[in-house]
Amino acid sequence: MSKLPNAQTLAKSINYAFPSASWMDVKPVFNPGSFCYPAKEETMAGLGMPHPHTWNPAEEDWNLPENWEEIMYNTLVDKLEKFRSFKVFMDICVRCGACADKCHFFLGTGDPKNMPVLRAELIRSVYRRDFTTAGKLLGKLAGARKLDKNVIKEWFYYFYQCTECRRCSLYCPYGIDTAEITMVARAMLHEVGLGTHWIMDPVSNCNRTGNHLGIQPHAFKEIVEFLCEDIETVTGIKINPPFNEKGHEILFITPSGDVFADPGIYTFMGYLMLFHELGLDYTLSTYASEGGNFGSFVSANMMKKLNAKMYAEAERLGVKWILGGECGHMWRVITQYMETMNGPTPSNMSVPKSPITGTVFHNAAATKMVHITEFTADLIKHNKITLDPSRNDHRIVTFHDSCNPARGMGLLDEPRYVLKAACNNFVEMPENTIREQTFCCGGGSGLNTEEIMELRMRGALPRGNALRYVQERHGVNTMACICAIDRATLPPLADYWAPGVTVTGTHELVANALVMKGEIKRTMDLRQDDLPDAEE
């Protein structure tokens, strides 16, 4: 990893002037820090991915399979035949440029190929040559070019500088969605054995152990029990969450990052405390112990393969519905793919109904899976939990909308409703950076890896800058989110662009405010930091 310049230097280094040469003649340079490490051969082989091989992006020869041209062509045909979105998006762009400055990676790098329109042209140009008459006849004049090994390198470079956040798609007059294009490009690269370590390793883990982090069942239980000890330290209440138990009403699934990594663990503790206080009839599962889905960054089939465990486990355990934790891309998969891929739901499942308030979640009638902030907002509305928001009074809180719940689901007001009940001081970031216009954390879609930290910090500039703005203007010291990847990527973002801001999950703040039956007087928050008025 190359050394990260400081924020001022990095911002000054952004050069929005474009090269004078045509973009087709400019090749990316694979400097350390500009690309993700390649997936290991045995990982790819273990998952049955095609053409697993050892290669290094920094080297000239990527050891592509001999018939790579044929593979790429056939895959492109296959995607055009299977996805109307992709086919239409290949044809209808008018290059109006409305998307150009909507991409956080363009704003943070100034690289023209990070403009969504040009990112798409990287693949459109190849499409034109093979599938349009003008492209065949006029070549470069029609914006067409032949797919060669340099183009493949360019694809690897730039389609792993897209976090599939879909911000550009919101502004496009035809709804052209770069995420769709990136998904196809990545799927094509995977067909010739090119994948990244940071994505394929979690996929492999998730397949076998049930979660991205590769936590084995006994260890999963131990970690959760360890978190329960911390809960007891803070609240005096001992919680014994059920694991893999049959006959409960609800299966709770959340990203494994929440079980494993700071600060996600505090959010996980928050879930457990809430469920305990409600007396909720639920179980955790070590088999379906991953809400996230790195398979969705590989291909539709891999997404399906990993996601299939949720309904399979719901069927085995005989639950009525699934409650899902705070996660971004998990909820895009659940909202827009799950029921189509792995439905219909098992016969033991029914339309989710809150056992506490009686609210029926008709909006989840098909997937039978409810978002935790929908569930909690409903509890708060019906006064079913007691919150003491003054416990969060030392926090001035803002909220980061994750890209996927915002633009792939429309979950915007539920978390805000919850946060405003749990905290007295809530401030929004500027309107062009929140809700459906929200900016990526810079590490979505499997880019939250250390070796590209500078790139991530560049992509994080718009979000970090908006955070800095409310930090300076309103004294914001806490950024809440509803995404496990955010909980991993926003702390370095905040340290870099807005030092002094703490990143929390939404249910961490809920649990800090939650008044529990039989609890001791709270002197600490879940992080075991003293509450300001603890001495009184």
Partner 1 sequence: MLFSLLAVIVLGGIAWLVAPNMPGFFGIILPYAAVLVFLAGFVWRIMNWAKSPVPFRIPTTGGQQRSLDFIKPARLDSPFTKAGTIGRMILEVLLFRSLFRNTKAELKDGPRMVYWSSKWLWIFALIFHYSFLIIFIRHFRLFLGVDVLPFCLEAIDKVDSMLQVGIPRFYMSDALILAGLLFLLCRRLFDYKIRYISLPGDYFPLFLLLGIAGSGVLMRYFMKGDIATVKTFIVNLVSFGPISASGLPPIFFLHLLFISTLLIYFPFSKLMHMGGVFLSPTRNLPNNSRAVHHENPWNPPKKFHTYAAYEDDFRDLMDEAGLPLEITPEEAAARAGAAKE
> CB of 489: closest distance to partner 1 in angstroms?
18
Q: Is 341 in the site for partner 1 (CB under 8 A)?
A: yes
Q: Of these, 173, 236, 499, 532, which contacts partner 1 (CB under 8 A)? A: 173
Give DSSP secondary structure letters for 258-280.
Answer: HHHSTTHHHHHHHHHHHHHHHT-
Q: Is 162 in the site for partner 1 (CB under 8 A)?
A: no
Of residues 235 through 254, those in contact with partner 1 by CB under 8 A are 243-246
Q: Of these, 142, 223, 356, 427, which contacts partner 1 (CB under 8 A)? A: 142
Q: Is 117 in the site for partner 1 (CB under 8 A)?
A: yes
Number of residues that bind partner 1 (CB under 8 A): 122
Token output for 309: 């465990």
Token output for 347: 């016969």
Token output for 303: 């997404």
In terms of residues, how long is the chain? 536
**Residues 6 or more apart in contact with residue 248 via CB below 8 angstroms:** 242, 281, 282, 283, 317, 319
For residue 430, give the DSSP letter.
Answer: P
Instruction: Please identify, among the stretches 7-15, 226-234, 268-276, 387-395, the one whose residues bind partner 1 according to the rule CB under 8 A.
Output: 7-15
Q: Using CA atoms, how far apart are residues 57 and 31, in angstroms rounded to an integer?
A: 9
Q: Using CA atoms, how far apart are residues 398 and 12, in angstroms rounded to an integer?
A: 27
Measured between its terminal Cα atoms, the distance across the chain in Å is 48
Q: Is 218 in the site for partner 1 (CB under 8 A)?
A: yes
Report how far apart, in Å, the C-alpha atoms of 290 and of each of 3, 77, 411, 442, 448 are: 33, 33, 21, 22, 17
Instruction: Please identify, among the stretches 51-59, 273-281, 386-394, 429-437, the one whose residues bind partner 1 according to the rule CB under 8 A.
Output: 429-437
Of residues 53 through 72, those in contact with partner 1 by CB under 8 A are none
Q: In terms of C-beta density within 10 A (0-12 exposed, 13-18 middle, 19 or more buried), how is residue 21 classed?
A: exposed
> CB of 132: closest distance to partner 1 in angstroms?
7
Q: Is 466 in the site for partner 1 (CB under 8 A)?
A: yes
Q: Of these, 139, 223, 318, 336, which contacts partner 1 (CB under 8 A)? A: 336
Q: Of these, 133, 358, 517, 521, which contacts partner 1 (CB under 8 A)? A: 133
- Which of 163, 165, 87 lies closest to 124, judged by CA? 87
Position 150: which residue type? N
> CB of 385: closest distance to partner 1 in angstroms?
15
Token output for 136: 């065949």
Q: Is 350 in the site for partner 1 (CB under 8 A)?
A: no
Q: Of these, 163, 342, 445, 489, which contacts partner 1 (CB under 8 A)? A: 342
Closer residue to partner 1 in complex, CB, 37/171: 171
> CB of 326: closest distance to partner 1 in angstroms?
15
Of residues 69 through 108, those in contact with partner 1 by CB under 8 A are 80-89, 91-98, 100-102, 107
Report how far apart, in Å, the C-alpha atoms of 158 and of each of 63, 185, 320, 359, 508 are: 20, 10, 43, 45, 36
> CB of 274: closest distance to partner 1 in angstroms?
17
Tell me the per-residue interface mask from 289 to 328 with partner 1, x by CB under 8 A, - otherwise: -----------xx--xxx-xx--xx--x------------
Closer residue to partner 1 in complex, CB, 6/518: 6
Q: Is 222 in the site for partner 1 (CB under 8 A)?
A: yes
Of residues 359 through 398, those in contact with partner 1 by CB under 8 A are 359, 361-367, 369, 374, 377-378, 381
For residue 301, give the DSSP letter.
Answer: H
Q: Of these, 208, 520, 528, 532, which contacts partner 1 (CB under 8 A)? A: 208
Closer residue to partner 1 in complex, CB, 65/112: 112
Q: In terms of C-beta density within 10 A (0-12 exposed, 13-18 middle, 19 or more buried), how is residue 429 classed?
A: buried
Is residue 113 a contact partner of residue 194, using CB atoms and an 8 Å limit? no
Q: Of these, 56, 340, 348, 390, which contacts partner 1 (CB under 8 A)? A: 340
3-state percent helix, strand, coil for the chain, nearest multiple of 5:
50, 5, 40
> CB of 118: closest distance to partner 1 in angstroms?
6
Closer residue to partner 1 in complex, CB, 82/146: 82
Closer residue to partner 1 in complex, CB, 418/526: 418
Q: What is the 3-state secondary structure (H, E, C) of 476-507?
A: CCEEEECCHHHHHHHHHHHHHHCCCCEEEEHH
> CB of 483: closest distance to partner 1 in angstroms?
16
Report how far apart, in Å, the C-alpha atoms of 62 and of each of 56, 148, 195 are: 6, 12, 12
Q: Is 261 in the site for partner 1 (CB under 8 A)?
A: no
Q: Of these, 114, 402, 465, 504, which contacts partner 1 (CB under 8 A)? A: 465
